[in-house]
Amino acid sequence: MMSPRPLTDFSRLCVHTATTKPWNIETAMDRYAKAGIAGITVWRDTLEGRDPNTVGRQLADSGLEVVSLCRGGFFPALSEAKRREAIDDNRRAIEEASAIGAPMIVLVCGAAIGQSLEDSRSQIVDGIAAILPEAEAAGIKLAIEPLHPMYADDRSAINTMAQAHEACDRLDHPLVGIAVDVYHVWWDDTLPRQIQNTGELDRLFAFHICDWMTPTRHLLTDRGLMGEGCIDLPGIRAMVEATGFTGFNEVEIFSTRWWESDQDEFLEKVKETYLRHT
Amino acid sequence: MMSPRPLTDFSRLCVHTATTKPWNIETAMDRYAKAGIAGITVWRDTLEGRDPNTVGRQLADSGLEVVSLCRGGFFPALSEAKRREAIDDNRRAIEEASAIGAPMIVLVCGAAIGQSLEDSRSQIVDGIAAILPEAEAAGIKLAIEPLHPMYADDRSAINTMAQAHEACDRLDHPLVGIAVDVYHVWWDDTLPRQIQNTGELDRLFAFHICDWMTPTRHLLTDRGLMGEGCIDLPGIRAMVEATGFTGFNEVEIFSTRWWESDQDEFLEKVKETYLRHT
């Protein structure tokens, strides 16, 4: 396993609002900024009932760097009408990203039960192609996030780095790249060369961290804090940094266990384990 | 998707005792035989407190074909002492398989938290190599079952067909092959060629069926009955049969939901969905 340079400050730490789900967007930006965290990735549910332009001004005032908007995607569907709806929704996501000052949207690409994963992947490529004009006009990057194979039923038909690369190859556009989330790809024995490829192809757009719990009690909401699980975080960070990546290390933890805890204390643990175990 | 010949009888249906977990081995063999099911795969926990030779005689009398003993494996460990214990346990499994008349053992290969998956895979290969003399003496086949990547933490470091092939390549022995369980591999876009390879290399030792539920509420015990989920069972069966495989279609469903139901009625549903959805 490779050892990267230890992390000694929070200048590259970004926290996803979903990590501190009990907080609304105003509280999250306030607390992250006070905690000395440098970046924020905003989940779309936090914008509900708000004018994204207002949130964008608040974010600009907070001093936080807006790393990305999470999430677009969910392109596949059995009917063309539903696929058009998904494309429209992704266009709205591009508008929201512009409004809040996010340079990138993370795509959880989707999968439709009732058709092959191959067909879903084609619809994903078609969906991304359909929104590329708007992404270009707004200058917003689109990061395809390969999801763990346990989400292949209805969350994403792109389940490996190889498939993410293939989608990028088909789209062949500088605004289309890959978000590497350790949770989804840590088990893959091709990971070293796949990450290396993202560097050579200028496709490594985002790096998400958390940990894999043993046992995992829920498929969606039992992620661990860094160091709580079995993922070789320093090893994967070393691979990522070897590509020349200098972006944020984004903490994205969905955990009912942590959401039920005091969120200020949890945020301190995020900082502590970020330095110690990443 | 390919369409195989419809299944019209139960001559190639095998049921795993873990599928009807509430039944002990005596009840399972009685009910399977009365239901006209041709094969049984015996889980080792059903032998606890029994003389396997006695169970072997009962199985011979039942008219059921004993397809395999489930399961050996769990070779990796951080200490050499633990790895030796695992090897000893697998030698006992070979004795049990002989005693009950099972020609094969299915291996859930194991993974040790605290070392890399690569190291765990090496220990798996070493472990299998260590028990090969006993397997040869007893004429027992060893089927490596690649497990879904969601089990890479502590159940198996062999998570893809490609990795199972690699382990077989390293061992290069006619008694070592692969058990294909749809639950673990359905999402893999290389599956068609990987299954084809098992045929060309005479490595396709077993075929396990069930279905993937949406949502999946538990990582271990929420499998579906055939047709309840999203797996293209006829498509995968077609790939398997295209290799020349004429072995059993083994129903292996871990489901607290079904275990809580009447097991006789459940067994009828197994038969019905076997014909209709496999």
* ipTM here: 0.96
Distance from CA of B233 to the nearest CA of A (A): 12
| Cβ-based contacts under 8 A for chains A and B | 61
Residue ranges per structural domain of chain B: 13-277
8 Å CB contact of B189 and A163: yes
pLDDT at residue number B1: 54
Q: Considering only CB atoms, which chain B residues are within 8 Å of A154?
A: 214, 230
8 Å CB contact of B219 and A219: yes
Pick the CATH number of B13-277 from 3.20.20.80, 3.40.50.300, 3.20.20.150, 3.30.420.40: 3.20.20.150
Give the model confidence (pLDDT) of A213-225 as tens digits. Answer: 999 999 999 999 9
Q: Are B181 and B223 in contact (CB under 8 A)?
A: no
Distance CA A121, CA B68 (A): 37
Q: Is the peptide bond before A215 cis (omega within 30 degrees of 0)?
A: yes
Q: Considering only CB atoms, which chain B residues are within 8 Å of A148?
A: 149-150
Q: Considering only CB atoms, which chain A residues are within 8 Å of B232?
A: 116
- pLDDT tens digits, chain B, 278 residues: what are they? 568 999 999 999 999 999 999 999 999 999 999 999 999 999 999 999 999 999 999 999 999 999 999 999 999 999 999 999 999 999 999 999 999 999 999 999 999 999 999 999 999 999 999 999 999 999 999 999 999 999 999 999 999 999 999 999 999 999 999 999 999 999 999 999 999 999 999 999 999 999 999 999 999 999 999 999 999 999 999 999 999 999 999 999 999 999 999 999 999 999 999 999 99
Distance from CA of A144 to the nearest CA of B (A): 18
**Backbone φ and ψ of B9, nearest 5°:** -150, -175
8 Å CB contact of B153 and A212: yes
* pLDDT surpasses 70 at A9: yes
Pull the structure tokens for residue A28: 């999250």
Q: Are A231 and A199 in contact (CB under 8 A)?
A: no
- Minimal Cα distance from A118: which residue of B? B189
8 Å CB contact of B149 and A113: no
Residues of chain A with pLDDT > 70, as a percent, come to: 99
8 Å CB contact of B149 and A154: no
Distance CA A88, CA A119 (A): 20
* pLDDT surpasses 60 at A168: yes
8 Å CB contact of A215 and B219: yes
- Minimal Cα distance from B233: which residue of A? A116
Q: Are A225 and A253 in contact (CB under 8 A)?
A: yes
Q: Are B230 and B245 in contact (CB under 8 A)?
A: no
8 Å CB contact of A216 and B153: yes
- Minimal Cα distance from A2: which residue of B? B116
Handedness of CA B118, B123, B127, B130 (dihedral sign): positive
